[in-house]
Structure 1
Amino acid sequence: MCQDHHENTNHTPPRQDEDNNLEPFPWDIGIFDAHCHPTDTMSSVASIPTMSARVLTVMSTRADDQDLVPALASSHGIPSVEALTSPTTHAILPAFGWHPWFSHHLYDDSLPASSATYPASLSPSEAKLAHYKSVLTPSPEEDDAFISSLPDPLPLSTYLPQLRSRLESHPLSLVGEVGLDKGFRLPVPWSEPALSSRDAGLTPGGREGRWLSPYRVALPHQTAILVAQLRVAGELGRACSVHGVQAHGALFDALSGMWKGFEKEVVPRRKQKLVAEGAEDWGDDEGEEEGGERTREGRLVVAARPYPPRICLHSFSGPVQVVRQYLHASIPARIFFSFSVAINLATEGGASKFPDVVRACPDDRILVESDLHVAGERMDGMLEEMYRRICEIKGWGLRDGVERIARNYEEFVFG
């Protein structure tokens, strides 16, 4: 996610012009931002109709933007299969979810009293204290002032029906941004001097340049919130955009636990050679079980499952070994890998491993995103730079590469 990373990404990558000797960028094919956050800076959304990108996949992350994202989609249009191929399209694809940075704002009220983080037997103020002392690490035992600065937590029994309702109201919408993050620390409460100089153009609720506290959200709690949201995605057959920072193993464990018992059969090569030619059926066809039926909007109808049918690992920062782990033939979900300049090229270490990771990704599983909190020319420029980088690494011609990624985006969204 967005504001904290992008504060250090102030450059606008050069766009093609007569002076830089770059091959003209094929915007006419269709450029798709698989993950971004323009509702963090609402003053920038007026520039969306002037952008060259065709569709922006806009994430929600917390209480402050759950209504902003569908409002933006309603005012700027939602894509259809036909719109993806139209050069006049400037559409918003909404995604609904609760980011791991804010997962402590939710609590699971289905837990038994012995393990509840928000004890129903206590008063609301006492239960709030108990919840945050339980889910934050280190526990802020002596820091009641910090806990008081946090919002009253919301029960999953309230949030999950809201999530389901938003998804059903927007038939092509995704679940996102959700995930796990071991590294993030909560910002300190606003001080009076900081609050007086706060940028009023930013949507409240983010870090907004504040110092960081020592507190993190305990990974088991993050995982519970993630899994609860992904179950809704699985029940409704929706794709999802997943955040994973310093938690690649934990994220894989959480996802693989959801599809346990639904793995595809992996037929050994020796057994394959024994099957008569033309009689093979390895069960790999996407949507075969559902017969290829699609909704009126064009989304593939899939049977309800405990896991999402398609998952984008956004701004994927893991090593090649993790890519290969997600490509195992037994995994029933289709895994995509998305990359952004803002994250993948922000550090020397990330940039150095980036080419090998891209080469390890199958051609039909790559997406591009900005992960940017400001719409407009800068977002277009960062998308163009990443498209060019990936095409160069893959050895694709620019038009060919852009067409490939457009097909990948269509499959990710529509199935």
Structure 2
Amino acid sequence: MCGPSEGQPHSHERGDTDDSDFPWDLGVCDAHCHPTDTMASIASINGMRTRVLTAMSTRSQDQDLVISVAAAHGITDRSALAVSEIQEAPRKIVPAFGWHPWFSHQLFDDTTGNGGNSTYDPSSSALPEQKAKHYEAVLSSSPDAEFVASLPDPKPLSSFLAETRRRLEGNPLALIGEVGLDKAFRLPAAWKEGEQHERDEGLTPGGREGRLLSPYHVKMPHQTQILTAQLRLAGELGRAASVHGVQAHGVLFDTISALWKGYEKEVVSRRKQKMVAKGAEDFSSSSEEEDEDDIWAEINGQKPADKPKQKKYKPKPFPPRICLHSFSGSAQVMKQYLHPAVPARMYFSFSTVINLATPGGESKFPELVKTCPDNQILIESDLHTAGDDMDYYLKDICKKICEIKGWTLKEGVERLRENYEEFIFGPA
């Protein structure tokens, strides 16, 4: 959701629709999309050629919709990505739960433990004044009374985090998303009298829906508070995160990197690397700890239990895996995330409808693809409607990446599927 869904391409704008040379059977995975924005399109998921769709939530109106779609169409384990034969009722959804920066003003931060700093007091006897106080604090300029009245009563961040925790615990494969920062977005203007009766009932409420934009932005400090809280939850539960960033690449890097401060990997110089004997054991702290029962058994001369080793995840204040979706930063910004000291596994996904939508985006796309490591690149549609259009735009961006990388289509689809599998599930 890097741009308004109303502006996304439709099928009549598409060019090549020939699928004869495309290896759909190898598993095409959409790392970021919004099918619940158009619930009528969910019925078309079963007929899609794409193997997996990562369905984002963004606001109050779509959290439970993503749950319902995942209940009907959600994959259950890693093997779903390896199945090539057509199933009668294919399961294709990986759910994501998060609060998008476009809607971050609708939350008030009550998680600091100091109620005096909160922008909203729900226990007050003067809630309209509290509501005005909150929106005055988190929005740029000074929103007028009519605009404030059109906005929902603020929701406590603590309640949303608790709800998200329950959703994640009920969906073991789910990730945090869509979350992030956006300096460019302006809130849509209030509905004018009579307009809501004419709105498209096929669209999930809460979005822009063609309204003019107001002059109001969500202040960056508030956006970073909402983002940080959600990334910390992802880190605690060991879930991946899908992150939005528009015209805020420096602030976004500072916000994310602040969470992993003190957890950076040790960067061994080339000189030290040469001093280490070839084939020497790696006793780095990043390796997984051995099972304590097996260690005890070996000490006592017993055979360790013959069972698969379960990698132990230690909660951290940052997600173990992060995808910067429809990445629009510079190659230099990308390299910051690729520094060997970064302790999170970083991925970068690309879409036709965002990365190739403008001449500027199109011109820097080849450099970004070349800079991105082969095993850290993903593809996405970022579309708000499931079906043939999603299939088409995923095929389109995959072909363009393969051309730049010098991959055959078979090699590219396989690589991209393997990257997606690691992003969702972690290392095998």
Instruction: Report the TM-score when normalising by structure 1.
Output: 0.93
1:216 aligned residue: 217
Q: 2:355 aligns with which of 333, 336, 344?
A: 344
- Specify whether residues 339 and 290 from structure 1 end up closer, same or farther in structure 2 by C-alpha distance, changes over 3 A only: farther
For residue 3 of structure 1, report the CA deviation from its aligned partner: 6.6
Q: 2:313 and 2:77 mapped to 1: Cα distance?
A: 18
Q: 1:158 and 1:132 mapped to 2: Cα distance?
A: 19
Contact 2:8 2:383 in 1 (8 A): no
For residue 7 of structure 1, report the CA deviation from its aligned partner: 1.9
2:298 aligned residue: none
Partner letter of residue 126 of structure 1?
E
Q: 1:290 and 1:395 mapped to 2: Cα distance?
A: 39
For residue 8 of structure 1, report the CA deviation from its aligned partner: 4.3
Q: 2:80 aligns with which of 64, 80, 83?
A: 83
Q: 2:290 and 2:404 mapped to 1: Cα distance?
A: 36
- Specify whether residues 255 and 200 from structure 1 end up closer, same or farther in structure 2 by C-alpha distance, changes over 3 A only: same
Give 1:3-402 correspondences, 5 Å limit.
4-10=4-10, 11-16=13-18, 24-87=21-84, 88=86, 89-111=90-112, 112-119=114-121, 122=124, 123-140=126-143, 143-279=144-280, 281=282, 283=284, 288-289=287-288, 301-402=312-413
Contact 2:74 2:95 in 1 (8 A): no
For residue 95 of structure 1, report the CA deviation from its aligned partner: 0.2
Q: 2:343 and 2:111 mapped to 1: Cα distance?
A: 28
Q: 2:330 and 2:55 mapped to 1: Cα distance?
A: 26
Q: How many residues align?
A: 402
Contact 2:6 2:210 in 1 (8 A): no
> CA RMSD of the aligned region, Å?
2.0
Contact 1:6 1:342 in 2 (8 A): no
Q: 1:100 and 1:320 mapped to 2: Cα distance?
A: 24
CA offsets 1:80-115 (integer angstroms, 9 cap, x no match): 211111123441000000000000111111342442
Q: 2:396 and 2:237 mapped to 1: Cα distance?
A: 34
Q: 2:336 and 2:208 mapped to 1: Cα distance?
A: 33
Contact 2:33 2:381 in 1 (8 A): yes
Partner letter of residue 243 of structure 1?
H
Partner letter of residue 397 of structure 1?
T
CA offsets 1:266-304 (integer angstroms, 9 cap, x no match): 11111211222222638497xx32569xxxxx9965211
Contact 2:2 2:244 in 1 (8 A): no
For residue 75 of structure 1, report the CA deviation from its aligned partner: 1.1
Instruction: Report the TM-score when normalising by structure 2.
Output: 0.90
Q: 2:195 and 2:334 mapped to 1: Cα distance?
A: 42
Contact 2:5 2:384 in 1 (8 A): no
Q: 1:139 and 1:291 mapped to 2: Cα distance?
A: 57
Contact 2:24 2:50 in 1 (8 A): yes
Partner letter of residue 367 of structure 2?
D
Large movers: runs of 4+ above 6 Å: none
CA offsets 1:298-342 (integer angstroms, 9 cap, x no match): 996521100000000000001100111000000110000000011
Partner letter of residue 289 of structure 1?
E
Partner letter of residue 419 of structure 2?
N
Partner letter of residue 27 of structure 1?
W
Partner letter of residue 312 of structure 1?
C
Q: 2:280 and 2:94 mapped to 1: Cα distance?
A: 41
Gaps of 5+ in 1: 18-22, 293-297
CA offsets 1:51-98 (integer angstroms, 9 cap, x no match): 000110000000000100010011113242111111234410000000
| Structure whose CA Rg is larger | 2
Q: 1:55 and 1:290 mapped to 2: Cα distance?
A: 32
Contact 1:32 1:409 in 2 (8 A): yes
Gaps of 5+ in 2: 292-308
Q: 1:393 and 1:13 mapped to 2: Cα distance?
A: 20
**Greater shift in the superposed pair: 229-238 or 74-83:** 74-83
